[in-house]
Copies of this chain bind each other. A is one copy, B any other.
Amino acid sequence: MGNSIPDNDESRELGDWQPRNLPAAYKVGVPPRKNFVNEFTERVKETLFPDDPLRAYKNQPKSKQFLLGLQYFFPILSWVREYNLKKFKGDLIAGFTIASLCIPQDIGYAKLANLDPQYGLYSSFVPPLVYAVMGSSRDIAIGPVAVVSLLLGNLLQDEFDPKLNKEEYHRLAVTATFFAGVTQAALGFFRLGFIVDFLSHAAIVGFMAGAAITIALQQLKGFLGIQNFTKETDIVSVMKSVWGSVHHGWNWETIVIGTSFLAFLLVAKYIGKKNRNLFWVPAIAPLISVILSTFFVYITRADKHGVQIVRKIKKGINPSSVHELYFSGPNLGKGIKIGVVSGMIALTEATAIGRTFADMKGYQLDGNKEMVALGTMNIVGSMTSCFVATGSFSRSAVNYMAGCQTAVSNIVMSIIVLLTLELITPLFKYTPNAILASIIINAVIGLIDYDAAILIWKIDKFDFIACMGAFFGVVFDSVEIGLLIAVSISFAKILLQVTRPRTALLGNLPRTTIYRNIQQYPEATKVPGVIIVRVDSAIYFSNSNYVKERILRWLREEEEKQKEDSLPRINFLIVEMSPVTDIDTSGIHAFEDLYKNLSKREIQLLLANPGPIVMEKLQASEFTELIGHDKIFLTVGEAAMSCAPKVIEEV
C-alpha cells in the first residue's frame, strides 16, 4: 500500500538497487542485527516488564532508589505526604457509604461460603487495611465478593461437609485463602500478571451472569424460609427442592418480609440509577432494611413463627488462625488446588475493576504490583480468620461515586467494621435471613450485564457462544464447570487465531497508488496478470502451511476466473507483507516451498514491504538471495508497477 514515487527528482539518485523501469526512493530497510543477549533481554523485558517499572530508578542516587523501592511496594508513602483534609472529607464519606453497604453483604457472603457470619466481617476488616498500605488503586473497595465466596463454598464443600466437619472445613477455608494469596503474590512478583488476560471478556461476562443466577437461586432458601435445601447449585436440582417444599416448608411471614424489603431495595436502586446524586440511597438502603427488619422481628418475635434469623454473630475482632493452616497432609494439596482457582478468579475481578477506574480517572496502574498487594492482603487475611477478599464491583462503584480520593476510604470502612465487630454484632441477633437473601439478590442482579452480552452478540458471534457456554455451564451444572468451559473456549479462540490468520486479495484504488482489500473497497480494481495477496499475521509454524496453501488457493481461484473470462495469464504473485510482523523457520520454509511451487508454474514471486524482523530473517536465511533482492519492494505500488512497466507512463 502506498506511493513511493518521490515527489521530486532528487530522490531518483537514492537507493542502491532499483526495481526495473522504476525510480525507487527508498530500499526496504534492514535494522542493525542485535546479538543474542540483547535480543533475549529485550524480548524478556517486553514480555515481563512491558510497563518498564524500573524507569523511575534510572540514574538516581542509591538513597533515592531505596526510597522509590519502598514507595513501589508501599504506595501509601508516595501519596500520604500530599494528603490533606479536603481529600480526607471525600474518603470519610466514601468510607461510611461502602461500610454501610458491606456490613450486611459480608454477613450474606459468609453464608455463601458456608461460614459463620462474623467471618464475612473479619474479611472486611484486615484485608482492606493491608491493601490501603500496599495497593495503588484509589477507587477499589476491598472485601468478600459474591462470586468468589460462592466458588470457594462450592469447592470447599466438595472436600468437607460444612456442618459435620465444621472445624476441618474452616481450616481448609483459611488454608485455601492462604494459597490464593500466595498464588496472587507469586503471579505479581514474577510479572506473570498477564495470565489473567487469558480469560476472555466474553467468557467472564457469561460466567458472572451465570454465577449471579446461581447465587440468587441459592437465596431462595432464606427468601422462602425453606428448611432442608439441596447442596447442588444447578438450576434443576434447586428448582426441584424449591417446588418440593412448596406445600410444607415455605414460610409466608418470611416471604412477606423478604419480598417487601427486596421491593424497597430495588426501588432504592432505581432511584440511584435515575439520579446520580442520589447514589447514596441504594448504598445505605441495605443497612436501613437490616435495621428496620431486625427491629420489626424483635418486637413481633416473628422468629417464633418460623422466620429464620441470624441468631448469633461472635463478638470481637479477628482471632488468629495461623495454627489452623494446613501445611502438610492430604488437605495441603486440596487447599492449594482450591486456593489457586479462587485466587485467580479473585484476581480477574480485582484487575478488571482496577483498570476500569484507573482509566476513568486517567492514572496508570501496575497490574503486577496490584497482584502483589492483593496477594499479601489475602496471606495476612488467612492468618486472621479471613476468607478470600478482593475488589467488589458494586462497592467500588459506590466508593467512586461517593468521591473517594485515596485508599483511606478502605481504612475508614475497616474501622467501622471493627467497631461493628466490637460493639453491635449482638444487635444482629434478630436480623431475619430473608433480608440478607434480599440484599444478596439485589446485589448480584447487578452482575448480569445484558448490555455487554448484546454488544458481544453484535460484535462477535463466537465471543457470544463463549459467553453463553460459560453462562449455561454455571447455571445448569456448577461454577467449576462454567469456569472450565470459559477457560477452554478462551484458549480454543487463541489457538484458532494463530492457526487460521486472515488473508485478503488487494486491488488498486483508481487514480491512486493505494492498494486495498477488494472486499472492503469494491471500487478497488485488480491489476491484470498480477495477483496481490496480503497475509494478515505473523507467519509461524502454527500457520505457515495454511498461509502457503491459502495463497496457492487464491492463485488457483484467480486462474480459474481468468480462464473463464479469458483475461491475461497471471505471471506475478505479490505478497503484501506489511502485516507480517514476524516469521520463523517454518514460515521461511513455507515461503521457499511457495517459491518452488510458483517457479514450476513460471509465476514470479514478489514481496512488498516486509517489516524489520522479517527482513532480517529473510536475509539470514538467504531467502532474499533465492528470490532476488530486486523482487522485494517498499510498497505494493512499486511491486505492481515493476510487473507492468507501462503503468509508469500512465502515472
A584 touches B3 (CB 8 A): no
Q: Are A582 and B502 in contact, CB atoms less than 8 angstroms apart?
A: yes
Q: How far is the CB of A5 from chain B (nearest CB, A)?
A: 8
In the complex, A274 has a CB within 8 A of chain B? no
Name the contact of A493 in the complex, choosing from B4, B537, B540, B589 (C-beta under 8 A). Answer: B540
**Interface residues contributed by chain A, number (CB under 8 Å):** 113
Copies per assembly? 2
Give Cα distance in the complex from A578 to B581, angstroms: 12
* Contacts A455-B585, A588-B459, A612-B519 given; does A25 touch B511 at CB 8 Å: yes
Which B residues touch A594, using CB under 8 A? 359
Residues of chain B lying within 8 A (CB to CB) of residue A456: 585
Counting CB contacts under 8 A, is A463 at the interface? yes
> Which one of B36, B544, B600 contacts A461 once the chains associate, using CB atoms below 8 Å?
B36
A378 interface contact, C-beta 8 A:
no
A48 to chain B: closest CB distance in Å? Answer: 9
Chain A stretch 336-363: residues in CB contact (< 8 A) with chain B: 355-356, 359-362
A197 at the interface (CB under 8 A from B): yes
Within 8 A of B (CB), among A515-554: 516-517, 519-523, 536-538, 540-546, 549-550, 552-553
Contact between A202 and B584 (Cβ–Cβ < 8 Å)?
A: yes
User: A2-B514, A494-B494, A499-B194 given as contacts; is B586 within 8 A of A201 (CB)?
Assistant: yes
Instruction: Point out the residues of chain B lying under 8 angstroms from A26, CB to CB.
Output: 509, 512, 514, 521, 523
Closest to A651 in B: B7
Q: Of the listed stretches A76-84, A128-136, A251-259, A613-621, name the one at the interface; the rest are far from the partner chain.
A: A613-621
A498 within 8 A of B: yes
By beta carbon, the residue of chain B nearest A601 is B362
Known: A25-B509, A494-B542, A635-B2. A537 touches B581 (CB 8 A): yes
Looking at A39-47, A408-416, A431-439, the stretch in contact with chain B turns out to be A39-47
Chain B hits for A199, CB < 8 A: 541
> CB-nearest residue of chain B relative to A595?
B359
Q: Does A513 contact B (CB under 8 A)?
A: yes
Give min CB distance, A621 to chain B, whole Å.
6
Interchain CB contact under 8 A, B460 and A617: yes
CA distance A50 to B496 in the complex (A): 13
Distance in angstroms from A498 CB to nearest chain B CB is 5
Give Cα A545 to B193, complex, Å.
11
Contact: B359 with A519, CB < 8 Å?
no
Chain B residues in 8 Å Cβ range of A498: 494, 497-498
Contact between B40 and A540, CB atoms less than 8 A apart: no
Is residue A276 contacting chain B, with contact meaning CB distance below 8 A? no
Interface membership of A593, Cβ < 8 A: yes
* Residues on the B chain within 8 Å of A550, using CB: 50
Q: How long is the Cα–Cα vector from A462 to B585 in the complex, in angstroms? A: 11
Interface presence of A301 (CB below 8 A): no
- Among A201, A541, A582, chain B packs the most CB atoms within 10 A around the CB of A541
Q: Is the CB of A514 within 8 A of B651?
A: no
Contact B579 A579 (CB under 8 A): yes
Q: Please determine whether B500 and A584 come into contact, CB atoms closer than 8 angstroms.
A: no
Contact (Cβ within 8 A) B512 A7: yes
Residues facing B in A1-50 (CB within 8 A) are 1-8, 10-11, 25-26, 29-31, 36, 39-40, 43, 46-47, 50
Chain B positions within 8 Å of A248 at CB level: none
Give chain B nearest CB distance to A537 CB in angstroms: 7
Whether A511 and B6, one on each chain, are in contact in the complex, defined by CB atoms closer than 8 angstroms, is yes
Q: 5 more A-B contacts (CB under 8 A) besides A452-B585, A579-B579?
A: A7-B511, A7-B512, A361-B600, A456-B585, A502-B581
15 CB < 8 A contacts A-B: A1-B2, A2-B2, A3-B3, A8-B511, A11-B511, A26-B509, A29-B521, A31-B519, A36-B461, A47-B500, A198-B542, A202-B541, A362-B600, A463-B585, A536-B538
